[in-house]
Structure 1
Amino acid sequence: MVKRRVYVAKVEELPPRIGFAMTVDDKKIAVFRLSDGRIKALENVSPYRQGPLAEGTVSGEYVYCPLYDWKISLLTGKVQEPDEGQVPTFEVEIEQDDVYVWA
């Protein structure tokens, strides 16, 4: 499947530490602006019972699943031990003040 660049929002439209949910084709994506200004994107589905990660609590470089409190890296998508799993991540590109994801 060929990835394409998809517009998300202006940087200032993404509040820090609050998830922004979007769908591209059949992919559910959660986009986050970290407190240091970096923007990260991962699949908006927790590996356990498919909780919506965009509704999770963000702390540093992690998001906590709103249903089961699993700690997931916003950098790698890896679920932290003792839980197991991996969430797909998406490349983010910022051009001027426009945020794009490759999906």
Structure 2
Amino acid sequence: MSWIDICGTEDIPLRGARTLKTALGCVAVFRTAKDEVFAASNTCPHKGGPLSEGIVHGQSVTCPLHNWVFDLNTGQAQGEDGSIATFPVRVEAGRVLIDAAKLLARSAA
């Protein structure tokens, strides 16, 4: 894996997200109430809703447009036929790192 530093954990709102713009599209980086950090596609496959503007609850995010709920571990929609891409992240010394190799392998958004 090729880890790159993208921000500090405090740069992501608690129970919120920020968007990482890449050449291949936007990735949402989420922070849960328990300070867990996840990264996933920012686009809901149902109607294209911006997941970074959704509600983060537990280890899930709810799309702001039509309430689809996605597991941030797997990307799978709960009770729906759909999923979003997820990306490996880790936190070191208060900094959020994402696997750049996975970003490069991602199809265009």
Runs (4+) off by over 4 Å: none
* Letter of the structure 2 residue corresponding to residue 44 of structure 1: N
Distance in 2 (CA, whole Å) between partners of 1:48 and 1:6 is: 30
Q: Gapped runs of 5+ residues in structure 1?
A: none
Normalising by structure 2, we get a TM-score of 0.84
Residue matched to 2:57: 59
Question: 1:43-58 residue pairs with structure 2 within 5 A?
Answer: 43-58=41-56
* Letter of the structure 1 residue corresponding to residue 11 of structure 2: E
The one of 21, 24, 41 equivalent to 1:23 is: 21
For these two proteins, the number of residue pairs brought into alignment is 100
Sequence identity percentage: 32
Normalising by structure 1, we get a TM-score of 0.89
Distance in 2 (CA, whole Å) between partners of 1:40 and 1:14 is: 11
* Letter of the structure 1 residue corresponding to residue 93 of structure 2: Q
* Letter of the structure 2 residue corresponding to residue 26 of structure 1: L
* Letter of the structure 1 residue corresponding to residue 55 of structure 2: T
The alignment's C-alpha RMSD in Å is 1.4
